[in-house]
Each structure stands twice: as C-alpha cells, then as structure tokens.
Amino acid sequence: MGMLRLVLGDQLTAGMSSLADIDPAADVVLMVEVTEEATYVAHHKQKIVLVLSAMRHFADELRRRGIMVDYVALDDPANTGSFDGEVGRAIARHRPAGLIATEPGEWRVQQMMAGWATAFGLPVDIRTDDRFFASRDRFRCWAQGRRGWRMEHFYREMRREHGLLMDGDEPVGGRWNFDAENRKRLPAGMFLPRRRRFPPDTVTAAVIALVEDRFPSRFGTTGDFGWPVTRADALAALDDFLGSALARFGDYQDAMAADSPFLYHSLLAPALNLGLLGPREVCRAAEAAWRDGRAPLNAVEGFVRQILGWREYVRGIYWTLMPGYAEVNALGAGRPLPAFYWTGETRMRCLREAVATTRRHAYSHHIQRLMVTGNFALLAGIAPREIERWYLAVYADAVEWVEMPNTLGMAVFADGGRMASKPYAASGAYIDRMSDFCDGCAYDVRQKSGPRACPFNYLYWAFLIRNRPALAGNARLAMPYRTLDRWSEAARQRCLDEAEAFLGTLAGGD
C-alpha cells in the first residue's frame, strides 16, 4: 500500500514538499478539479482557465516523469465537486496507507484539511510549504514582541538572511531602498516593449470551452488569454521580462497609462502563485541582471523588494492574523460595492480603464489596484469584505494569502495600521500626476467641488473629515489635518454633503 499525495491547484511545483520522497512504484498523486473552488467566489473566467489548464499540464509533466496521477476533471460525472468529497472518493479507490499534502494557501482549506485524519481514519501528513523565503514560523518569530510591524524592517532582515543584493553585511549601492527614484510619470511617446504572451494550446482551448460552458455569466472574457500555464512557458515569461522590461521597471513602477496595461511590470504573479516559478529563482535572476549590467539597481532592488519584501511580508501577516483578519473593519466602512466594479459603467475614466483592463486580462498592475480601485473603495467607505472578495475574484494572480492583506491592510486600511503606516488615500491630483487618464475624463481633476469636479477630490477630504477620530493621531496625516483645520465648519459640512450626494448616486453591485 502506497501513499496518496494531494497536489492543489496552486502547488504546481516539481519540488513540492508533498512530492518529496515519492515512491513512483507505489504512490499515487491526486489532483482534483472541483466546482467548490470555482464557485466560493465568482472568479474571473481567465482565472479558472489558468488554474485548470496549469493543473492539467502539471499532471502530464508528472506522468512523463513516471509518476502515477489520479486526475479528476471538472466534467467527470462522478465528481462530487469538493476537496472533501474527492479526497474521500480517492481514498476508497486507492486504499492508501496515508495521505500526504502540503499546507494550503488559504485558511478555509487548512480548516478542511484539519478534519481529514478523523473523517477518513488514516494518517494525514501536512507538510510545510517550503517554496517561500520565510516559513510561517520564521515570520512569527520576527513579528513576536515587536510593537509595530513594518515591511521595510522585515525586508532588510530577509535581504541579510538570504544574501540578496548584499555586499557583506551592507546593501549593494549603499542603500536599502531606491523608491525615491521609482515614481516617474511615463513620458508621452515612450517606447513600450511588446510583451510575450502565450496563446492557448489545445489543453487551454479545451478548458476555455469548459469554462465558457459551465460559467457563462462570470465576469471577464477569455479571448485575450495569454498566461503561462507550464513551467517552460513561465521560464520564457521570466526571460522576456528580464530582457525587455526589468531595466525600466523601477522608473515607471508607479506610472499608469490608458491602453497600456502592462507597462514594464513583470506579469509573473500568476506563475509565481501557482508555483510554476519560484520566488528564489526569480529574485536571483533579477540580481544577476544587475550584476551583468543588464538592469540598473533602482529597477532590480525595486523588483526584489516586491517579492522578497512585500510578498513574504503579506503572507506572514495573513497566517499570523487569520482567522480574525478576514473580519477587520477599523474604519467601520459599510457601503455596498458599486455596480461599476463589475460593469465598468462609470464616467470616472481611471476606474473605467481599470475595470476594462481587469475584464480583458484578469490583470491590472499594482498602482491601478492600490490607487484607483483601492483608493476609491477606501474613500467611499466600501465594506472591506465586499471589496476584498472582489479582488479575490477578478485577478488571475489572486490567492487569499496575498490578496487579503493587500486589500484589507494596504488598500482600505481596515486593519487600522497593522500592515501599512498610513492609509493610501489620495485625491485626483495623484492620479493625474501618475497617469494620462484625467485628460479624457468627463470630470475635471482641477475642480474641487461642483458637478464637474473630480469625485476623488471631495471624497478625499470627506474621508479625512469622517474618519478624524481614527486617523487624526497619525503623524503622517498631520499635514492634511492641519489644512482641514483652516476650513470653516460650513466648508467641511459642504464637502461631506457633496461626497454623500455623489455616493448616493452609485448603485450597489452584485
């Protein structure tokens, strides 16, 4: 009797801990496509296609290595539709000596797994996911006893620990952070590289047909599907990024441009989060590009910080603070998510562009997520859980451990500052500075009030007025609060009324 080894849809890595010490003659790998995972949030069609196609390719790869794979497809008539049901059926089929899995990327699934040993009456070995720079325990150890958690401190420790971009004990270039150089607006006519995309092969095409059939009314289109679904494609995507975009990644990291959704971003998050690429190899490859003179330090440090810093930090936050973290709502926000997050029907061009890109590519880059859709949700006081479920649904790279802290902690400040030192709240001036959206907008970014005024302007001040009790003590907000103090009481009330009137015109979404 061999072991049953479960591999989930975001565990598509040859060296997965659940596959270590596998006995190809006796053990069976179980992979299951289940309706429950496609429906617990209303995922974008491309996200379901990505996961299922990558799973099918990975199963083929394992078989080529001589490993037995029991693969249950979504349209298998016997499929029960859940992990619980399919693991139970597979145990009845194979009668294994035990079940081996790697810890999942979601609290919900971890809770499910915790009941399996009892439910199925066999030994269950849940192993650490060692694909990350920092284990869950490593983060806890760092966090323990610290009063405030800040990504920058964690990141420096990780740089030292993993020797990335280090010169002995000091950061290369004499600084830990080159962010100040990474806030340029994209000049008009700037050359943008054509990014390598991966048109559907026969496996992906079959999954697209399946998803269009099973989930026809889901948000998003599949016509532009271009995500890597194999390790080979993911390596080609990495190569493409290093060769064509990394050098300018830093300079234009915060820039936004209509009709240019990708700019110089890596587009690697879906491959990283499914396990087709590892964070270590990606960071090392970027470091090598700097050492070989192919990319400047501000670009490479900025890129490495996103992965070695932010990605690891948010994972630590998620696993340290769950399950309570899902319920945080420090600012008491409760407005329903406006329908335009799904339909894109709004006169605010920045938001229209962000939703259009999201629908077409299951992607928008970080600043669009943070400073457009996220900033609006923050200023409008959207219920944190509603906006959080939206982000989990609509992006190809969305996995709860990374999505939830980014949304609740970074975008809408619902954790009251556990993750970020201040809310990323901004008026229209920020969006105007960093993009070309305002030029073609029905609203005027220079107007502060009135029917043509950019809504971000009065929403920003109304947000500060409304949340004064929670935010006035934040030293990083001292300046805008001093400005507000110079306003008359009547002016503050007018601003609140205007914001309320605008928000009252927004229909709730589904």
The footprint of ligand DLZ (CB under 6 A) covers 8-10, 32-34, 37-38, 43, 48, 51, 104-106, 109, 399
Determine if 370 is a binding residue for ligand FAD (CB under 6 A): yes
Minimum distance, C-beta of residue 342 to ligand FAD, in the bound complex (Å): 16
Minimum distance, C-beta of residue 445 to ligand SF4, in the bound complex (Å): 4
Burial profile 471-496: b = 16 or more Cβ within 10 angstroms, e = fewer: beeeeebeebeeebeeeeeeebeebb
Determine if 330 is a binding residue for ligand FAD (CB under 6 A): no
Determine if 311 is a binding residue for ligand FAD (CB under 6 A): yes
* Contacted entry of ligand DLZ, ligand FAD, ligand SF4, none for residue 48, CB cut-off 5 to 8 Å set by kind: ligand DLZ
* Contacted entry of ligand SF4, ligand FAD, ligand DLZ, none for residue 375, CB cut-off 5 to 8 Å set by kind: none
Neighbouring C-beta atoms of residue 464, cutoff 10 Å: 21
By CB under 6 A, name the one of 220, 338, 384, 428 that touches ligand SF4: 428
Three-state DSSP state, 29: strand
By CB under 6 A, name the one of 211, 420, 426, 431 that touches ligand SF4: 431
* Contacted entry of ligand SF4, ligand FAD, ligand DLZ, none for residue 109, CB cut-off 5 to 8 Å set by kind: ligand DLZ
Give bridge partners of residue 4 from the DSSP assignment: 28, 99
* Contacted entry of ligand DLZ, ligand SF4, ligand FAD, none for residue 349, CB cut-off 5 to 8 Å set by kind: ligand SF4
Question: What is the rounded CA–CA span in Å between residue 59 and residue 19?
Answer: 13
Give bridge partners of residue 5 from the DSSP assignment: 29, 100
Residue carrying structure tokens 């139970």: 88
Q: Which is nearer to ligand DLZ, 182 or 222 (CB)?
A: 222
* Closest to 185 measured CA to CA, from 477, 429, 460: 429
By CB under 6 A, name the one of 310, 390, 443, 461 that touches ligand FAD: 310
Whether 231 contacts 412, CB under 8 Å: no
Question: What is the rounded CA–CA span in Å between residue 330 and residue 474?
Answer: 14
Neighbouring C-beta atoms of residue 49, cutoff 10 Å: 29
Determine if 267 is a binding residue for ligand FAD (CB under 6 A): yes
Question: What is the rounded CA–CA span in Å between residue 181 and residue 299?
Answer: 9
Q: Which is nearer to ligand DLZ, 28 or 38 (CB)?
A: 38
Question: What is the rounded CA–CA span in Å between residue 334 and residue 71?
Answer: 42
Determine if 365 is a binding residue for ligand FAD (CB under 6 A): yes
Determine if 240 is a binding residue for ligand FAD (CB under 6 A): no
Neighbouring C-beta atoms of residue 64, cutoff 10 Å: 8
Minimum distance, C-beta of residue 9 to ligand DLZ, in the bound complex (Å): 3
**Nearest 5 degrees, angle CA 228-CA 109-CA 325?**
100
Pair type for strands 68-72 and 98-102 = unpaired
Minimum distance, C-beta of residue 217 to ligand FAD, in the bound complex (Å): 23
* Contacted entry of ligand DLZ, ligand FAD, ligand SF4, none for residue 369, CB cut-off 5 to 8 Å set by kind: ligand FAD
The residue range among 117-125, 172-180, 292-300, 440-448 that interacts with ligand SF4, by the rule CB under 6 A, is 440-448
Q: Is 146 exposed, middle or buried (0-12, 13-18, 19+ CB in 10 A)?
A: exposed
DSSP 308: I
List residues binding ligand SF4 (CB under 6 A): 348-350, 428, 431-432, 437-438, 441, 443, 445, 454-456
